[in-house]
Structure 1
Amino acid sequence: MTTPDQSPLGKSSAYQSQYAPELLFPIPRAQKREELGLTADSGTMPFFGVDIWNAYELSWLNMRGKPQVAIATITAPSDSPNIVESKSFKLYLNSFNQTRVAGTDALVELLRQDLSAAFGSPVHVSITTPDAFGSLKMGELEGTLLDRLDVEIDQYLPSPHLLTADHDASPVEETLVSHLLKSNCLVTGQPDWGTVQIRYVGPQIEQEGLLKYLIGFREHNEFHEQCVERIFMDVLRQCKPTKLAVYARYTRRGGLDINPWRANFSTGKPGNLRTARQ
């Protein structure tokens, strides 16, 4: 079983410029889910979802040796056995830099096959070529901004006890957003910056406590996907909404951004709208 400390993260790495799918480093999701009380023995997961990766530094050679560039979007299901460590993902993408590929369709198929093998489940791959760059838009996650609240903070690790809800009042439907999500890489401790959106139906969540809880990730070390699943489970257990969706848009590192989404009700997959900080 691979572990994060065995990955290329935090280590000097030689950049290969010829196709090398063996560079991809999968890490089982089960390792961190067990910390949340989610095991294979517990049956169906309390959420479904996807991890949306955007790769902005994708380049290869056409069959005449001329460089090509594009933006790739990879969507991996949350029920895949593995995540892929992001530095290994970057090294893998860079291995195309001096590799001749017979067109974008052939490139998409190579990416799909290699990444599906690494994640352990089929992934979806699409490519945006320069002729379509002008169609790409930017925007922000919608919802009531928690950051407007003037809160005093004295702890910077996740504290689920801060999450409370009014179980005596009628249920509400709300969408809440914060730009103040910051966590740290599980291996290197480097900062990861994100915007998080929480949609729910159920007892009204106390907003000040929720904001304090989210700010509490500031000195917490976990990968993006793991942070979102922790947020989802803590809100679900502490506040008991009947419907819940958590979506985070993280700023890119090494030409990659990772945007996990977890939900327990059918909302349709979230849009892949790049935020200003991405």
Structure 2
Amino acid sequence: MTNTADLADLSPLGKTSAYRTDYAPELLFPIPRQGKRDELGLHGTLPFFGVDIWNAYELSWLNQRGKPQVAIARFTVPADSPNIIESKSFKLYLNSFNQTRLDSPEALKALLQKDLSAGFGANVHVVLTLPDAFSTIAMGELEGTLLDRLDVEIDNYRPAPELLKANHDELPVEETLVSHLLKSNCLVTGQPDWASVQIHYCGPQIDQESLLKYLIGFRDHNEFHEQCVERIFTDILRQCAPQQLAVYARYTRRGGLDINPWRSNFSSAQRPPNLRGARQ
């Protein structure tokens, strides 16, 4: 298991980096998912499926005549891939295309898919949007009942799953809840990560005040985006026992990249749309 000290020593996070501008797939830094899942008691069959949706807004390369090209990229990574990729290494890897001459966008896409699938350890779906289609990229906010309207008093800024509670004496409900107050911190550097989160469930009605307090409790917590979402999912599943649960977070971008993890446990759940929020 790779611990935080090991990550700090091995990864490019928090270090001065030489920005390569020639193609360098070796810059990608995979991190096994299982270490953090062990902390959550997740062994064997996972209680969820899902994806991590990455968006890259700073992607450029050269055509064979040396003229710069640009695109926006979307990478869809299955949640059961054995690894995540540390985000700064992902950014350094994308930068390595800046002075790399390629025959076409299709040639770039093929390299991205090959290298990222190798790094994540599973097939990564890549979509490139070229400038003539930029206007087709939609924006939108997460839908649901806004938890942030509640006037709660907060005295804890660490995840406290024991706060979560649900009413098991009444009929089950189906509802979608949203908060824009999720903040966690990078596992290695401690830099803040900001997100909006959407929770859809069917089951005993979750107490909204306790859920909001729980989510705000990530404010001083150090963990990567994907790990935070899996912790939220697992804590709600164990504490509130919904029959169906989906958790989706839209994190703001850093270094031209945003990461948007989605986890669900019911087969009828549709993968959420990749709509960029106002803060992204």
Q: TM-score, normalised by structure 1?
A: 0.98
What SS class does the counterpart of residue 71 from structure 1 fall into? strand
Where in structure 2 are the equivalents of 1:203-222 lying within 5 Å?
Answer: 203-222=204-223
Give yes or no for the alignment of 1:135 onto 2:139: no
Give the AA of the match of 2:275. Answer: L
Return the alpha-carbon distance in structure 1 between the equivalents of residues 148 and 164 of structure 2: 16
Give the AA of the match of 1:11. Answer: K
Which piece of structure 1 moves more, 156-165 or 3-12?
3-12
Give the AA of the match of 2:35. Answer: Q
Where in structure 2 are the equivalents of 1:6-45 lying within 5 Å?
Answer: 6-39=10-43, 43-45=44-46
Give the AA of the match of 1:21. Answer: P
Return the alpha-carbon distance in structure 2 between the equivalents of residues 148 and 264 of structure 1: 28
Q: Which residue of 2 aligns with 1:94?
A: 95
What SS class does the counterpart of residue 110 from structure 2 fall into? helix
Give the AA of the match of 1:200. Answer: Y
**Structure 1 gap segments, 5+ residues each:** none
Q: Which residue of 2 aligns with 1:255?
A: 256
Give the AA of the match of 2:22. Answer: Q
Return the alpha-carbon distance in structure 2 between the equivalents of residues 155 and 163 of structure 1: 14
Return the alpha-carbon distance in structure 2 between the equivalents of residues 122 and 56 of structure 1: 21
What SS class does the counterpart of residue 217 from structure 1 fall into? coil
Where in structure 2 are the equivalents of 1:201-240 lying within 5 Å?
Answer: 201-240=202-241
Q: Which residue of 2 aligns with 1:104?
A: 105
Return the alpha-carbon distance in structure 1 between the equivalents of residues 139 and 114 of structure 2: 30
Return the alpha-carbon distance in structure 1 between the equivalents of residues 206 and 14 of structure 2: 39
Return the alpha-carbon distance in structure 2 between the equivalents of residues 114 and 156 of structure 1: 38
What SS class does the counterpart of residue 218 from structure 2 fall into? helix
Return the alpha-carbon distance in structure 1 between the equivalents of residues 271 and 140 of structure 2: 17
Return the alpha-carbon distance in structure 1 between the equivalents of residues 216 and 76 of structure 2: 27
Return the alpha-carbon distance in structure 2 between the equivalents of residues 252 and 263 of structure 1: 23
Q: Which residue of 1 aligns with 2:169?
A: 168
What SS class does the counterpart of residue 253 from structure 1 fall into? coil
Following superposition, the deviation at residue 44 of structure 1 comes to 1.1
- Residues 12-33 of structure 1: CA deviation (Å, up to 9, x unaligned): 1100000000000000000100
**Structure 2 gap segments, 5+ residues each:** none
Give the AA of the match of 2:83. Answer: N
Q: Which residue of 2 aligns with 1:4?
A: 7
Return the alpha-carbon distance in structure 2 between the equivalents of residues 233 and 4 of structure 1: 24
Following superposition, the deviation at residue 136 of structure 1 comes to 1.2
Return the alpha-carbon distance in structure 2 between the equivalents of residues 12 and 37 of structure 1: 35
What SS class does the counterpart of residue 219 from structure 1 fall into? coil
- Residues 51-82 of structure 1: CA deviation (Å, up to 9, x unaligned): 00000000000011000000000000000000
- Residues 100-146 of structure 1: CA deviation (Å, up to 9, x unaligned): 01111111110000000000000100000000011111110000000
Q: TM-score, normalised by structure 2?
A: 0.97
Q: Which residue of 2 aligns with 1:271?
A: 273
Return the alpha-carbon distance in structure 2 between the equivalents of residues 77 and 111 of structure 1: 16
RMSD of the TM alignment (CA)? 0.8
Give the AA of the match of 1:99. Answer: T
Give the AA of the match of 2:133. Answer: A
Return the alpha-carbon distance in structure 1 between the equivalents of residues 7 and 89 of structure 2: 11
Following superposition, the deviation at residue 4 of structure 1 comes to 2.3
Q: Which residue of 2 aligns with 1:115?
A: 116
Give the AA of the match of 1:269. Answer: R
Return the alpha-carbon distance in structure 1 between the equivalents of residues 260 and 14 of structure 2: 22
Aligned length: 275
